Protein backbone atom coordinates (compact mmCIF):
# COMPACT_ATOMS: atom_id res chain seq x y z
CA UNK A 1 0.00 0.00 0.00
CA UNK A 2 1.42 3.38 -1.00
CA UNK A 3 1.28 6.49 1.14
CA UNK A 4 -1.55 7.81 -1.01
CA UNK A 5 -3.55 4.63 -0.37
CA UNK A 6 -3.40 4.82 3.42
CA UNK A 7 -6.80 4.42 5.01
CA UNK A 8 -7.77 7.70 6.70
CA UNK A 9 -8.63 7.66 10.39
CA UNK A 10 -12.36 7.76 11.00
CA UNK A 11 -13.51 11.07 12.47
CA UNK A 12 -16.55 9.47 14.13
CA UNK A 13 -15.17 9.43 17.68
CA UNK A 14 -13.96 13.02 17.68
CA UNK A 15 -17.04 14.19 15.83
CA UNK A 16 -19.28 12.69 18.52
CA UNK A 17 -17.21 14.36 21.23
CA UNK A 18 -17.35 17.66 19.37
CA UNK A 19 -21.14 17.36 19.11
CA UNK A 20 -21.33 16.69 22.84
CA UNK A 21 -19.18 19.74 23.60
CA UNK A 22 -21.20 21.88 21.18
CA UNK A 23 -24.41 20.84 22.94
CA UNK A 24 -22.89 21.77 26.29
CA UNK A 25 -21.73 25.12 24.90
CA UNK A 26 -25.19 25.90 23.50
CA UNK A 27 -26.80 24.90 26.80
CA UNK A 28 -24.63 27.26 28.88
CA UNK A 29 -24.80 30.16 26.43
CA UNK A 30 -28.44 29.63 25.40
CA UNK A 31 -27.27 29.52 21.79
CA UNK A 32 -27.93 27.44 18.69
CA UNK A 33 -24.53 27.13 17.09
CA UNK A 34 -24.32 24.20 14.68
CA UNK A 35 -20.70 23.96 13.55
CA UNK A 36 -18.47 21.56 15.45
CA UNK A 37 -15.35 22.81 13.63
CA UNK A 38 -13.97 24.95 16.51
CA UNK A 39 -14.28 22.06 18.96
CA UNK A 40 -12.85 19.54 16.51
CA UNK A 41 -9.87 21.87 16.22
CA UNK A 42 -9.54 21.98 20.01
CA UNK A 43 -9.81 18.19 20.32
CA UNK A 44 -7.07 17.68 17.72
CA UNK A 45 -4.67 20.28 19.10
CA UNK A 46 -1.67 18.82 20.89
CA UNK A 47 -1.11 20.46 24.28
CA UNK A 48 2.03 18.55 25.32
CA UNK A 49 3.97 15.36 24.58
CA UNK A 50 1.58 14.22 21.88
CA UNK A 51 -1.49 14.57 24.12
CA UNK A 52 -4.48 16.55 22.88
CA UNK A 53 -7.00 18.53 24.90
CA UNK A 54 -9.78 16.35 26.33
CA UNK A 55 -13.51 16.95 26.13
CA UNK A 56 -13.63 17.53 29.91
CA UNK A 57 -10.90 20.17 29.68
CA UNK A 58 -12.73 21.98 26.88
CA UNK A 59 -15.99 21.87 28.86
CA UNK A 60 -14.20 23.31 31.89
CA UNK A 61 -12.87 26.19 29.79
CA UNK A 62 -16.41 26.80 28.51
CA UNK A 63 -17.77 26.91 32.10
CA UNK A 64 -15.03 29.30 33.15
CA UNK A 65 -15.42 31.62 30.16
CA UNK A 66 -19.21 31.77 30.38
CA UNK A 67 -19.15 32.70 34.07
CA UNK A 68 -15.97 34.81 34.21
CA UNK A 69 -15.75 36.71 30.94
CA UNK A 70 -17.53 40.05 30.75
CA UNK A 71 -19.78 38.96 27.90
CA UNK A 72 -19.51 35.24 28.56
CA UNK A 73 -23.09 34.42 27.67
CA UNK A 74 -22.54 35.96 24.21
CA UNK A 75 -19.47 33.84 23.65
CA UNK A 76 -18.85 32.27 20.23
CA UNK A 77 -17.07 28.91 19.81
CA UNK A 78 -14.48 30.32 17.41
CA UNK A 79 -13.56 33.06 19.91
CA UNK A 80 -13.03 30.51 22.67
CA UNK A 81 -11.09 28.02 20.55
CA UNK A 82 -8.14 30.26 19.74
CA UNK A 83 -5.63 27.53 20.29
CA UNK A 84 -2.60 29.77 20.84
CA UNK A 85 -4.38 31.10 23.93
CA UNK A 86 -6.17 27.93 24.98
CA UNK A 87 -3.46 26.65 27.30
CA UNK A 88 -3.70 29.90 29.28
CA UNK A 89 -7.48 29.62 29.31
CA UNK A 90 -7.26 26.07 30.68
CA UNK A 91 -4.76 27.09 33.36
CA UNK A 92 -7.05 29.89 34.55
CA UNK A 93 -10.09 27.60 34.39
CA UNK A 94 -8.41 24.97 36.57
CA UNK A 95 -7.47 27.58 39.20
CA UNK A 96 -11.03 28.93 39.12
CA UNK A 97 -12.52 25.46 39.55
CA UNK A 98 -10.23 24.64 42.46
CA UNK A 99 -11.25 27.90 44.14
CA UNK A 100 -15.01 27.41 43.81
CA UNK A 101 -14.74 23.77 44.92
CA UNK A 102 -13.00 24.73 48.15
CA UNK A 103 -14.48 25.54 51.51
CA UNK A 104 -14.10 29.34 51.89
CA UNK A 105 -12.65 28.65 55.35
CA UNK A 106 -9.23 26.97 55.38
CA UNK A 107 -9.12 23.54 56.99
CA UNK A 108 -8.40 24.10 60.74
CA UNK A 109 -6.17 21.04 61.10
CA UNK A 110 -5.04 21.50 64.68
CA UNK A 111 -8.55 22.24 65.92
CA UNK A 112 -9.93 19.15 64.19
CA UNK A 113 -7.14 16.93 65.50
CA UNK A 114 -7.83 18.21 69.01
CA UNK A 115 -11.50 17.37 68.50
CA UNK A 116 -10.66 13.87 67.31
CA UNK A 117 -8.39 13.27 70.30
CA UNK A 118 -11.12 14.40 72.70
CA UNK A 119 -13.70 12.06 71.14
CA UNK A 120 -11.45 9.02 70.72
CA UNK A 121 -8.58 9.21 73.22
CA UNK A 122 -7.69 5.56 72.54
CA UNK A 123 -6.57 6.58 69.06
CA UNK A 124 -4.83 9.87 69.78
CA UNK A 125 -3.02 11.61 66.95
CA UNK A 126 0.15 13.43 67.99
CA UNK A 127 -0.19 17.05 66.88
CA UNK A 128 3.48 17.39 65.93
CA UNK A 129 3.16 14.37 63.63
CA UNK A 130 0.22 15.83 61.73
CA UNK A 131 2.05 17.42 58.79
CA UNK A 132 1.59 17.86 55.06
CA UNK A 133 3.81 14.84 54.45
CA UNK A 134 1.14 12.61 55.93
CA UNK A 135 -1.42 11.38 53.34
CA UNK A 136 -4.23 11.74 55.88
CA UNK A 137 -3.45 15.47 56.10
CA UNK A 138 -4.62 15.92 52.52
CA UNK A 139 -7.51 13.52 53.05
CA UNK A 140 -8.76 15.63 55.96
CA UNK A 141 -8.68 18.68 53.70
CA UNK A 142 -10.72 16.78 51.11
CA UNK A 143 -13.35 15.96 53.73
CA UNK A 144 -13.35 19.58 54.93
CA UNK A 145 -13.80 20.82 51.37
CA UNK A 146 -16.84 18.62 50.89
CA UNK A 147 -20.40 19.62 51.68
CA UNK A 148 -23.00 18.29 54.07
CA UNK A 149 -26.16 16.53 52.88
CA UNK A 150 -27.84 19.93 53.10
CA UNK A 151 -25.40 21.39 50.58
CA UNK A 152 -23.54 23.52 53.12
CA UNK A 153 -19.78 23.73 53.61
CA UNK A 154 -18.51 21.73 56.55
CA UNK A 155 -17.82 23.60 59.77
CA UNK A 156 -15.97 22.66 62.95
CA UNK A 157 -19.23 21.84 64.73
CA UNK A 158 -20.26 19.52 61.91
CA UNK A 159 -16.91 17.71 62.10
CA UNK A 160 -17.33 17.40 65.87
CA UNK A 161 -20.66 15.68 65.26
CA UNK A 162 -19.06 13.41 62.65
CA UNK A 163 -16.32 12.32 65.04
CA UNK A 164 -18.83 11.89 67.86
CA UNK A 165 -21.10 9.61 65.83
CA UNK A 166 -18.16 7.62 64.49
CA UNK A 167 -16.78 7.10 68.00
CA UNK A 168 -20.16 5.68 69.09
CA UNK A 169 -20.52 3.34 66.11
CA UNK A 170 -20.15 -0.43 66.27
CA UNK A 171 -16.97 -0.07 64.28
CA UNK A 172 -15.30 1.12 67.47
CA UNK A 173 -16.38 -1.82 69.60
CA UNK A 174 -13.54 -4.13 70.67
CA UNK A 175 -11.12 -1.41 69.69
CA UNK A 176 -8.18 -3.28 71.19
CA UNK A 177 -8.62 -5.89 68.44
CA UNK A 178 -8.42 -3.28 65.66
CA UNK A 179 -4.99 -1.64 65.64
CA UNK A 180 -5.60 -0.60 62.01
CA UNK A 181 -8.60 1.54 63.01
CA UNK A 182 -7.09 5.02 63.07
CA UNK A 183 -8.00 8.49 61.88
CA UNK A 184 -5.67 7.93 58.93
CA UNK A 185 -7.66 4.85 57.88
CA UNK A 186 -11.05 6.52 58.37
CA UNK A 187 -10.05 9.55 56.28
CA UNK A 188 -9.11 7.48 53.24
CA UNK A 189 -11.44 8.48 50.37
CA UNK A 190 -12.69 4.90 49.99
CA UNK A 191 -13.54 4.67 53.72
CA UNK A 192 -14.82 8.04 54.91
CA UNK A 193 -18.31 8.00 53.38
CA UNK A 194 -18.99 4.40 54.38
CA UNK A 195 -17.82 4.90 57.96
CA UNK A 196 -19.76 8.13 58.45
CA UNK A 197 -22.96 6.87 56.81
CA UNK A 198 -22.87 3.70 58.92
CA UNK A 199 -22.38 5.78 62.06
CA UNK A 200 -25.39 7.95 61.14
CA UNK A 201 -27.61 4.92 60.48
CA UNK A 202 -26.69 3.38 63.82
CA UNK A 203 -27.33 6.68 65.60
CA UNK A 204 -30.81 6.96 64.05
CA UNK A 205 -31.54 3.34 64.98
CA UNK A 206 -30.52 3.96 68.61
CA UNK A 207 -32.60 7.12 68.74
CA UNK A 208 -35.63 5.22 67.44
CA UNK A 209 -35.11 2.46 69.96
CA UNK A 210 -34.20 -0.17 67.40
Summarize pLDDT for 14-66 with one digit per residue, the tens: 888 999 999 999 999 999 999 999 999 999 998 877 889 999 999 999 999 99
What is the CA angle 183-184-190, rounded to 5? 105
What is the CA angle 120-123-125, rounded to 5? 105
Indicate whether 80 and 146 sit together in one domain: no
% of the chain surpassing 90 pLDDT: 64
Indicate whether 170 and 120 sit together in one domain: yes
Query: Residue 19's pLDDT is what?
Result: 94
Residue 49: left if φ>0, alpha if ψ -120 to 50, beta else—which one?
left
Q: If pLDDT is split at 50, 70 and 90, which confidence band does 7 have?
A: very low
Indicate whether 95 and 114 sit together in one domain: no
Considering only CA atoms, give the Rg of the chain: 24
Indicate whether 72 and 148 sit together in one domain: no
Is 3 a domain residue?
A: no
Is 156 a domain residue?
A: yes
| pTM, rounded to two decimals | 0.57
Is 96 a domain residue?
A: yes
Amino acid sequence: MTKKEKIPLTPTGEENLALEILGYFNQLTHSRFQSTAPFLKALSTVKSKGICYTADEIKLVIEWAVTQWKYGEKLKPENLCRMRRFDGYLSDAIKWKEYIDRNPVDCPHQELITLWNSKIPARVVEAQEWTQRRPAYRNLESVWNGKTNKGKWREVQHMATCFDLISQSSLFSSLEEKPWLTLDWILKPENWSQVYEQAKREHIARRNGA
